[in-house]
Structure 1
Amino acid sequence: MGSLAIIAGLLSVAAFRLPPEENPFRRIVKSLLGFYATTLPEKAYLHLDRPCYASGETVWFKAYLAEADSHRPDTLSKILYVELVSPERRIVAQRTLRLQAGVAPGDIVLPDTLPAGTYQLRAYTSWMRNAGPAFFFSRPLAVLDARGKLPAGPLPATKTDLQFFPEGGSLVDGIESEVAFRAVDSQGHGAEAQGVVLDGQGRELTQFRSRHLGMGTFRLAPAPGQHYRAVVAGPGSVRTEYALPASQPTGYALRVSETETDFLVTIRRHAAPGAAPAGPAMLLAQVRGQVSFAVAVPGAGAAPVAVRLPKAKFQPGLAHLTLFDEKGTAECERLVFVPNPPGVRLTLTPNKTAYGPREAVQLRLKATDATGQPIAGQFSVAVSAASVADDGPTIVSHLLLSSDLSGPVEAPGYYFREPQTPEIRQALNDLLLTQGWRRFVWKELLANTLAKPEFLPEQALTVSGQVLTAARQPAVRTVAYLQTNPARQAEMPADASGRFRFRGLDGLDTTQVMVRAQPLKGERELLIRVLGPPPIGAMLSAALLTSPAGSSALAAYVHASQQQHTAEKSLAHSTIALSTVKVLGNRTKTDDGIARPYSLGNAKVLQVGELAKNGNSQTVADYLQGRLAGVTVSGGHVNIRNIMSMGGNAAKNNFLVEALYLIDGTVVSASDFAAFPISDTESIDVMTQNGAGLFGTQGAGGVIAVHSRKVGLVYDTDPKDAFAAARTGLLSMQVPGYYRAREFYAPRYEAAASTALPDPRFTTLYWAPMVQTDATGQAQLSFYTSDAVGRFRVVGEGLGTQGLPLSGTTELVVQPQPTR
């Protein structure tokens, strides 16, 4: 425990040591440590190559995954899911990344047809789903119209929502407290607010005005029995009233101030007249479960008690200060921020101050800790047009601040600008006064009522889900797994909750699989559902698209994007002679939108109509009975004559060989095929041996392929997950393999080399996602400038092997070639 310096004139406090086992303070500390030891929370972060994009461009990113408490990379999870969500809350792109040492590169190509607007980019692991989508990495992504159309300006102002947050949690009669407030508009952005505070008799007590993004503070000493309200002047002289939180007649109040080296915590208590003296309280200070201080606080008397907490004893990040009374009940809570020590730096140093087009750039990256010692770690570097810069997240702002707050943080980069001015420090204090801790609630933690984990950490690709009865109760049934390319099958019993999990899918590309639960005798409906994407929460609009001040910068960016698009088209039109190309195969699409790896001339396609789906036929076997000449159904088996007229003529050969059965491209058994419900069937393709040559000897008896109705898949949503589900106990689907990141195009112009082809790097000049520092904490990068001239912003981000996040920036200037 750290030593304490006592403020002169106030009651002294002694360093706290854990008391006997039965004491509630010991239980509090043990519960805190146990939470992180058992839940092992994770944090994800994505470093992007630039803050905004135009349709048709590529989003280049580097994924980082770290332990939530230590920020060390390489957690239990080895798989990270990255999704791009549209303004309509639909997933428009997905990536499944295989992490190595907690990192992985990735990219998402934005279609030319993608509408402009604010999208959401999110990243999560299966293990993170236990805590819910609020703990995923999520950031708004501005997508502009590549044709040059700028987004509409901000929406007209509507009624502002104003909330008040007394420091420590509650107002207490007779004790002056700091009261923070936050005003937001209809889009969730901070809105300027000013007004007055009135008492119950309408007397003005104080005035207030927001400082940054709608946040600010004022002081108030509530009187017993009084009710207070704030009156805010809005557009058009409209006055709006908001009630302040009611004050408590008794209780504790907590006040925190800070110096360059210490946090000064002042604790006051107001007791009822004649009340017995309270026992000692405890002030607990911790950063992500790492206890920095546990301080005994005398509980008797009304005199304030002050505690000095040296900042050097805290880990960098969001510190959680909680005051517990003598019974172990949390009474007050306050968040404070501890930045990285001044010596922690990521410096990016180019070899020149200015460059010409297509000139070599040598860039040195150096990472050091608080003592100036080198840091080993993984980093990523982006060089992009400086026309649009924002205060979006960095790995430092996310890991140390945003990821541990209960609500979204608007423009988090603002709070980490250098130099740190008094205005920035005050804005950060206002932010922390209006936010809450997000990992747990003390009451739930101490009562041991936190939810048990439902999702396991993934070390490899899996297919997992749940089997339910028609009444939505867990069903313990045998679950079979079937897969093609390569062919695999497995079987396992579902557990007591009906859940199952098939592993060992690593090394596969996207493949078609089928999962089937074996029903009991007489059981006609059995729901099998396979884990799908989690629910999509609230969407925060991008400040870039709502700020009038950014319109000129966005126009410059769109112009650069159009230049790049033109250059890329010129490259695409440049032709290279190829030798003879042999086309090995193609995929044919019919009007039903189904892709088939065979010619339609070789198959008889039966489109299953709505009447058939609602008629007497219950299964595919029922439906096929007597429908095609030469196709016989007997005992759940289907046979096709080797030589058969698909037009309905009589067969010329009576020799029968059993067909090969496919459902959505997956080879299945005769019983699975025959039992597939016709209500979930879109179409059936029937091929003789002559038309089934693509399937080799397996197709000797012909092929019957069922294509399921996509509308037959439903999405069940609960507070934590969504499942693709089928009520027939049989589900066919595609399982994606690991995404293979593309390589960023970065040509090299050697001294003797020249080319007339344009260089299309106008928006992002360079992207290096996998940069590793050596024993000296350094890495050397080299690349060439393009045809684009102007200022380029260099951003480096990364994570040390011991969990220290770093970010740094610099600029490059590319000047046009002098005219001769």
Structure 2
Amino acid sequence: MRKLLIILCLLLPLLGLQAQDTNNTRSARFEQKMRWYGAADKGLLFVHFDKNVYTNNEQAWFTGYLLHPPVHVDSNYIMAVALIRNEDSVVVAEEKYLMADGLSFGNMFLPDSLQPGFYSFVAYTNLVEAGQPRAMFVQPVTIKSVVTPSFLASLKLAPETSADSATVLLKADSKDIFNLISNAEVTYSVGTGKQKISGKTRTDPYGAASITVPVKHLTSSASLLKVQVNHKNEKKQLQIRLPLPDNKLRVGIYPESGHLVAGLSNRVAWEVKTAEGTPLSTLALLYRNAVAVDTVQTNGEGLGTFSLFAEAGNSYSIRVLRKDQPDTLYPLPNPVTGVPLLHIADAVAGDTLRISISAKQPGTWHCMIHNYSELYAGFDVTLDNASARGFRMPLTDIPRGLLTVTLLDASGKPVSERMAFAHYDQKDKISIVTDSAAYHTRQKVTVKLKLNAADTGRSGGMLSVACVQDNRLDVRNTTDIESYSYLNHQLADLPFRKDPIGPGEDNKDYLNNILLVKGWRRYNWQGLEKVSAADTLLANIASLQLKGNVTRFEKEAGKPLSLSFITDSAMQLIITAADGSFHIRKEDLVITPGKKLMFFVNEKNKNNYAIQVTDPYARINRNLLAWLPDEQNDQRYLLASHTDSMTLKAGEKAATLATVTVSANKNDGSLYATSALQGRNACGDYVCSYGILNCMNHSYGTLPVEGKTYRTPNGMGMNNTTVYKGCIETKEENKFMLFVKGVYTAKEFYVADYTKIDPSEQMFLSTLYWNYATVVNSAGETELSFYTSDITGRFRIVAQGITSNGVTHAEASFTVKQR
């Protein structure tokens, strides 16, 4: 903080401001508290997934980044990932992955049993506080079907609804016009807990049904009607928002710096959302003492600003001009006196922040520049004869990102506060250049990555890089490491905007509005006042551990027992405690992806013993969605009021899908084949239609046969062979053994090379390239290459990760055409 104060000392005498030494009583007191407050931070976990639209039988690839962890980074050595169905919070897949130096690499196979719908990947590390993960990341995803459905279903609200209930019309249509979807079972529910409403009905002879639901107890967070249609073993799931009984708009009014200051011109931000939480563009009248004095408006993101000269004793309000709304006045805060007005004309700053402080009465206030974890500067501001003072704050020693300016009165109470973004345009930028803008199918793509340092010095970094089919990235569920780190993680419930920290004046305007509307919510002085040195002890933090127990005839053995423990290639001996309990060291959990740890008893009469291993991650996974804040929980639900949106369309998959016929004794092995004969054994092993064991290009196949020879993946080729030794987990005589999922290392993503092997079958690969960690630097270019598949259309390259100067993100695209 001292270097910044030295610069300020040179500027402030010219401006009527009084700079204080670092040891100023108020600054020193809060500086210590901010360090304690920062130590209690839970850290930030971000996970880059290759895409956010998947199908069953696909692999999800990802890199986890643990950014600025308050606890030593080595204490986070496992990243758990669970795939959870949003509708009922059922965990459909869960695994654990090795984390080292704050990085975790992994992939997860999406099971064949997945039904189309909305899901969430939830990731967290092994550190928990009071039983809940300290650092957690949620990636909403959509699972779509690749099979042409036999029928479609849709929902819509009935044209007329009463004040007490809402009616939804359902229509199920068959692909075959001669087969109507009659008498199909329809189940529905809305709400949770005691307020949950559920029921059943059936479609009429024409495939129609109506659902009437009382709306008395509906709220904005519990107004989603979930409907399932069952017809001949095929299920369709749909959702639709119900109108709320109180359809009143959600209007927030936020004077700059927290108060409407009497006798001065105030900038006021306001935000409008529908009752369901959707941002609304609208016009409104501004009233003074019930007399209209101005017209104000919000933009498409529901945000707006206006200026107001506030006078003591007057009342101010807003009336939204919408025919579908009751005539309602939304009051502004009452004007106050005796407090300063803190004004920042442009809060999206480069290397200098311009601040203006105004007041109607003389006074001295203490100004602090900080981020609630670190105090960057503290100095007194005195206004005597002049009613306003302006000064420039150099940001040289302040890191990129959000910062807060707070004014304290003589008693140390905060009276004004404002947020800003430092070094907005100063970041390490990634350039992505392809050797062509368009390619043919199965053609080589060469990409050059270049890190351009934010300053004149050199920089290096590590990026995860994906190239995927463009329609596998739903913009509504897309976030990047830069926006998440600097904005979404700190300011919740933001209006949607893709790449809000990207270049362009529109993005700067958006961010300025956000800092006015959302920034005042960072008024965390209550928590700051309460924090103490004891909060830095982190006494409630624990590390999740797998624990085991052995019983004899379902009772304690009464003596230490001998166990053998087998990983990939090593065997170890475990001696239990007298009660049969044992611990598994973290380093012994690491294993090759897809394999399992094996335990077995070394005692005589082995079948008399039973081994149990308790996995605490499994318990946590079943509660993850319930622990999310309400605004994050609500964002997990994208609406699908028509089931056709849950099926990949012709341009998104094989053009020949409609003409493919699969009999009971044939499986073509492609991504878009029917799932009738697909399978994996208990060990996760399978053979694709080309006789390749655990094929790199197909995620499923037929079950392997013990003793048979198969080809195995080998980098770019398929030249190795192996004799399959069987899946020991399925053998009857091994009941005394226990197989447990371990902590997986990274599995290599094999890039297709059609110069080495050119399959005759069509290759429908939506992920063409994935690299967990690509090293880049500003001294030169990093080159990578891969091949297009048989899917045509637009593909997108996404590169994001960490650099010497923070985090960065970039995208580029190209087109694939048929040969």
In the superposition, the TM-score normalised over structure 2's length comes to 0.66
Cross-structure match for 1:42: 43
Aligned counterpart, 1:725: none
Unpaired stretches in structure 1, ≥5 consecutive residues: 272-276, 465-479, 494-499, 515-527, 589-596, 600-692, 697-732
Give 1:316's aligned residue: 400
Q: What one-letter code is carried by the residue in structure 2 that aligns with 1:424? A: N
> 2:64: which partner in 1?
63
CA distance in 1, matches of 2:519, 2:374: 18
SS of corresponding position for 1:416: coil
Letter in 2 for 1:754: D
Superposition map of 1:218-229 within 5 A? 218-229=306-317
Q: Which residue identity does 2:329 align to in structure 1?
A: E
Q: Is the 8 A contact 1:140 1:540 kept in 2?
A: no
Superposed displacement of residue 261, structure 1: 5.1
Residue 635 of structure 2 corresponds to residue 541 of structure 1: yes
Shift of 1:383: 0.7
Once the two structures are overlaid, the 10-residue window that deviates more, 481-490 or 87-96, is: 481-490
Question: Which residue is 1:416 aligned to?
Answer: 501
CA-to-aligned-CA distance 1:687-714 (integer Å, 9 cap, x gap): xxxxxx8659xxxxxxxxxxxxxxxxxx
Please tell me whether the aligned partners of residues 82 and 123 of structure 1 are also in contact (alpha carbons under 8 angstroms): yes
Q: Rate the CA distance shift 1:456–1:504 in 2: closer, same or farther, 3 A.
A: farther
Relative distance call for 1:211 and 1:74 in structure 2 (3 A) is same
The 1-side partners of 2:78 and 2:368 are apart by 35
| Conservation of the 8 A alpha-carbon contact between 2:85 and 2:92 | yes
Aligned to 1:566: 672
Deviation at 1:319, TM superposition (A): 1.4
1:168 match: secondary structure: helix
Cα deviations by residue, 1:293-323 (Å, 9 ceiling, x for unpaired): 3232115567122221234443111112222
Name the residue aligned to 2:79: 80
Q: Deviations over 1:711-743 (max 9, x none)?
A: xxxxxxxxxxxxxxxxxxxxxx99752134444
2:707 and 2:615 mapped to 1: Cα distance? 48
For 2:293, the equivalent position in structure 1 comes to 205
Q: Counterpart amino acid of 1:415? A: P
Greater strand proportion? 2
Distance 1:177 1:501 in 2: 66
Q: Distance in 1 between matches of 2:495 and 2:43?
A: 22
Structure 2 portions without partners, runs of 5+: 155-236, 549-558, 566-572, 601-613, 658-669, 679-686, 693-703, 709-723
**Identical aligned pairs, as a percentage?**
21
Deviations 1:401-428 (A, max 9, x none): 22222x133435341233x12x321111
Match in the other structure for 2:330:
242
Confirm or deny that 1:580 pairs with 2:581. Answer: no
Per-residue CA deviation, residues 54-98 of structure 1 (Å, 9 max, x unaligned), is 3443322111111158xx995642222323332233433333221
Q: How many residues align?
A: 627
Q: Residues 16 and 193 from structure 1, CA distance in 2 versus in 1: closer, same or farther, beyond 3 angstroms?
A: farther
Residues 1:141 and 1:754: Cα distance change in structure 2 (over 3 Å): closer
Q: CA RMSD in A?
A: 4.5
Give how far 1:397 is off: 0.9
Between 391-400 and 433-442, the greater mean CA deviation after superposition: 433-442
Matched, 1:441 2:440: no
> Given residue 78 of structure 1, which amino acid in structure 2 is its aligned partner?
Y
Matching residue of 1:428: 511
The partner residue of 2:352 within 262, 265, 269 is: 262
Correspondence 1:166-181 to 2 at 5 A: 166-181=255-270
Structure-to-structure mapping, 1:553-632, within 5 angstroms: 555=649, 558-559=652-653, 565-566=671-672, 572-575=688-691, 580-581=707-708, 598=732
Structure 1 residues 345 and 303: alpha-carbon distance in aligned structure 2, compared to 1, 3 A threshold: same
Shift in alpha-carbon separation, 1:342–1:286, aligned structure 2, 3 A: same
Q: CA deviation at 1:331?
A: 1.9
Residue 118 of structure 1 contacts residue 541 of structure 1 at CA under 8 Å; is this kept in 2? no
CA–CA distance in structure 1, aligned partners of residues 132 and 736 of structure 2 = 44
Q: Select 1:456's aligned residue among 532, 541, 547.
A: 541
Question: Is the counterpart of residue 799 in structure 1 residue 802 in structure 2?
Answer: yes
Match of 2:121 in 1: 121
Residue pair 1:281, 1:298 contacting (<8 A) in 2 also: yes
> Cα deviation per residue 1:542-572 (whole Å; 9 max; x = unaligned)?
6975799x97997567546996732698994
Largest Rg, 1 or 2: 1
- Aligned to 1:428, what secondary structure does the other structure show? helix
Does the CA-based 8 Å contact 2:597-2:739 persist in structure 1? yes
Distance 2:305 2:323 in 1: 22
* CA contact 2:147–2:674 (8 Å) conserved in 1: no
Shift, 1:287, TM fit? 4.3
Give the Cα separation in 1 of the matches to 2:343 and 2:82: 42
> What are the residue-to-residue correspondences of 1:331-410 with 2, within 5 Å?
331-339=415-423, 341-342=425-426, 344-371=428-455, 373-387=457-471, 388=473, 390=475, 392-405=478-491, 407-410=492-495
**8 A contact 1:118–1:141 mirrored in 2:** yes
Residue deviations 1:472-519 (CA, integer Å, cap 9, x gap): xxxxxxxx99996526466699xxxxxx996723323666999xxxxx
Aligned to 2:141: 141
Amino acid at match of 2:487: L
CA deviation after TM superposition for structure 1 residue 806, in Å: 1.2
**CA–CA separation in structure 1 for the residues paired with 2:357 and 2:493:** 30
Aligned residue type for 2:307: R
**SS of equivalent residue, structure 2 residue 314:** coil
Q: 1:587 to 1:138 in 2, by over 3 A?
A: closer
Deviations for 1:603-647, whole angstroms, at most 9, x for unmatched residues? Answer: xxxxxxxxxxxxxxxxxxxxxxxxxxxxxxxxxxxxxxxxxxxxx
Q: What amino acid maps onto 1:598 in structure 2?
A: E
Name the SS for the 1:540 alignment partner.
Answer: helix
1:105 and 2:105 correspond: yes
Q: Structure 1 CA distance, aligned partners of 2:322 and 2:105?
A: 47
Equivalent-residue separation in structure 1 for 2:316 and 2:577 (angstroms): 66
Change (3 A) 1:512 1:756: closer
In 2, the alpha carbon distance for the partners of 1:557 and 1:308 equals 55
Shift of 1:211: 1.6
In the alignment, does 2:552 pair up with 1:504?
A: no
TM-score by structure 1 length?
Answer: 0.66
Check whether the contact 2:441–2:791 (CA below 8 A) recurs between aligned residues: yes
In 1: Cα distance, 2:528 partner to 2:740 partner: 37
Out of 776, 780, 784, the residue aligned to residue 781 of structure 1 is 784
Relative to structure 1, the CA distance from residue 403 to residue 482 in structure 2 (aligned partners, 3 Å threshold; closer, same or farther) is farther
Whole-Å Cα distance in 2 between the matches of residues 189 and 413 of structure 1? 16
Q: Which amino acid aligns with 1:265?
A: I
CA contact (8 A) 1:253 1:267 kept: yes
The Cα shift of 1:203 comes to: 0.8
User: Is 1:748 equivalent to 2:749 in the alignment?
Assistant: no
Q: Check the 8 A contact 1:64/1:73 in 2, yes or no.
A: no
1-structure distance, mates of 2:780, 2:132? 37
One-letter code aligned to 1:191: L
Query: Which residue identity lines up with residue 732 of structure 2 in the other structure?
Result: Y
- Give per-residue Cα distances to partners, 1:267-293, cap 9 Å, x unaligned: 23355xxxxx64x32222234734443
What CA distance in whole angstroms lies between the structure 2 residues aligned with 1:777 and 1:457? 43
Tell me by how many angstroms 1:797 deviates: 0.7
Aligned: 1:93 with 2:93: yes
C-alpha distance in structure 1 between counterparts of 2:263 and 2:739, whole Å: 65
- Seen in structure 2, the aligned counterparts of structure 1 residues 152 and 28 have a Cα distance that, compared at 3 Å, is same
- Relative to structure 1, the CA distance from residue 107 to residue 417 in structure 2 (aligned partners, 3 Å threshold; closer, same or farther) is same
Q: Which amino acid aligns with 2:359?
A: R
Q: Is the 8 A contact 2:129 2:542 kept in 1?
A: no
1:172 to partner: Cα distance: 2.7
Deviates more, 1:38-47 or 1:291-300: 291-300
Whether the 8 Å contact between 1:481 and 1:491 is mirrored in structure 2 is yes
